[in-house]
């Protein structure tokens, strides 16, 4: 109820289209203008699996260059209200930049921009648009990872700072004064890269030494990893970018007989967590396991297709529900299983959990 009130307060023109609260349609308002939008949520209400089904052509045109940042926000927002607030913020920026395109730039705008780029070095410039309003700068951190920062300059530059878009797991706030230049932003960008070094080191080790089921192609802003443990089990970890060496949030997925012992080991060994040791090594020692390695096993050894739709990926999601019977262990997509169980006359529902027979073994 509180979420509904918050959504009504922030987006009074966006209304639910079904009693489950999985489809919303209406308008998002920015700078006094209304834009049509429709958002579909999956049955588990996980925003990372949500999709924007349709919107007005004006909204598509305005947000054309902001799809990456919107996808990043969609994955990191805990609920629909948070995402709509983020969407309105991005839309405000996009509208301002769209309006700025039609404002003639004074001569000092171009002279300052060219001077800054020459001082910075053209070898650090990855892209400049023909209107000299968007600049992408590249940088390499101390571990050799490549990064980009996109600068959207408005007509009041250098009096006002450009909007900065980065692939970071935390907000990137620029400190700016009228006498500052792009060199100052670039130096702040480099400092932010170094502050995230331990976070990216930890996740790079996990990506390289384990089988990561989700996300399939993680961005630098992604803070979660779903790591395969066996054919019937995986663990989803949420790493704090500011404290990457601390115990992450862990959520086990799989059959009870496979994941319950792992939960017990994590709870019993939690006091053994050592911040001086790598995240992956700590997980190995606390769970008392060796994670499946890319060098030893094939993905097919533990990545099984859904027993209902017979596909591995469904709208970007992999099977995350498993039959608890040790003799069965068939995995399913949550959306597929939910729809299947809803159609069974013998299933029952308690709050947001539905119970019924396994489509494979009838347990």
Domains and CATH numbers, the chain: 1-101 (3.10.110), 107-195 (3.10.110.10), 210-302 (3.10.110.20), 304-362 (3.30.40.10)
Give CA–CA dist 94/91, Å, rounded.
5
Q: What percentage of residues in the chain have a pLDDT greater than 90?
A: 37
Cα–Cα distance, 39 to 61 (Å, whole number) = 18
Query: From CA 162, how far away is CA 128, in angstroms rounded?
Result: 14
Is 300's pLDDT higher than 90? no
* pLDDT tens readout for residues 262-299: 999 999 999 999 999 999 999 999 999 988 876 655 55
Q: State how far the Cα of 172 lies from the Cα of 166, in Å rounded to an integer.
A: 7
Q: Picking from 18-22, 86-90, 274-278, which range would have the lowest pLDDT averaged per residue?
A: 18-22
Q: Looking at the chain, how many residues does it have?
A: 363
**Cβ-contact 194, 142 below 8 angstroms:** yes
Q: Dump pLDDT digits (tens) for 123-163.
A: 999 999 888 889 999 999 999 999 999 999 888 888 889 99
Does residue 44 have a pLDDT over 60? yes
Residue 75 in contact with residue 83, Cβ under 8 Å? no
Look up the pTM and report it: 0.64
Looking only at the bridges linking them, the beta strands covering 224-230 and 23-30 are unpaired
- In the numeric block, the tokens 């408005």 are attached to 154
Which two tokens mark 209? 């030494």
Q: Band of the pLDDT at 48, cuts 50, 70, 90? A: low
């Amino acid at each position: 109820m509180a979420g509904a009130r918050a959504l009504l307060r922030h987006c009074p023109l966006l209304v639910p289209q079904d009693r489950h609260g999985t489809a919303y349609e209406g308008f998002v308002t920015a700078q006094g203008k209304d834009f049509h939008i429709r958002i579909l949520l999956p049955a588990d209400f996980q925003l990372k699996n949500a999709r924007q089904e349709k919107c007005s052509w004006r909204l598509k045109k305005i947000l054309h260059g902001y799809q990456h940042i919107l996808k990043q926000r969609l994955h990191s927002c805990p609920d629909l209200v948070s995402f709509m607030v983020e969407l309105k913020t991005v839309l405000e920026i996009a509208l301002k930049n769209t309006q700025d395109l039609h404002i003639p730039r004074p001569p000092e705008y171009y002279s300052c921009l060219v001077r800054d780029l020459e001082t910075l070095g053209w070898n650090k410039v990855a892209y400049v648009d023909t209107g000299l309003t968007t600049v992408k700068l590249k940088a390499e951190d101390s571990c050799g990872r490549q990064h980009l920062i996109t600068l959207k300059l408005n007509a009041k530059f250098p009096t006002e700072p450009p909007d900065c878009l980065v692939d970071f797991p935390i907000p990137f706030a620029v400190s700016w004064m009228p006498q500052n230049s792009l060199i100052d932003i670039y130096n702040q960008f480099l400092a932010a890269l170094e502050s995230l070094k331990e976070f990216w080191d930890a996740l790079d080790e996990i990506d390289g030494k384990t089988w990561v089921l989700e996300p399939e192609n993680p961005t630098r802003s992604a803070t979660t990893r779903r790591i395969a443990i066996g054919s019937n089990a995986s663990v989803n970890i949420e790493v704090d970018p500011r404290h990457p060496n601390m115990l992450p949030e862990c959520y086990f997925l799989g059959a009870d007989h496979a994941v319950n012992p792992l939960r017990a080991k994590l709870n019993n060994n939690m006091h053994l967590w050592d911040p001086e040791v790598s995240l992956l090594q700590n997980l190995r020692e606390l769970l008392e396991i060796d994670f499946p390695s890319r060098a030893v096993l094939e993905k097919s050894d533990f990545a099984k297709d859904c027993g209902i739709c017979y596909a591995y990926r469904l709208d970007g999601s992999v099977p995350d529900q498993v039959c608890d019977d040790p003799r069965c262990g068939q995995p399913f997509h949550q959306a597929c299983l939910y729809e299947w169980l809803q159609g069974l006359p013998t299933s029952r529902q308690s709050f947001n959990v539905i119970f019924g027979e396994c489509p494979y073994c009838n347990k």
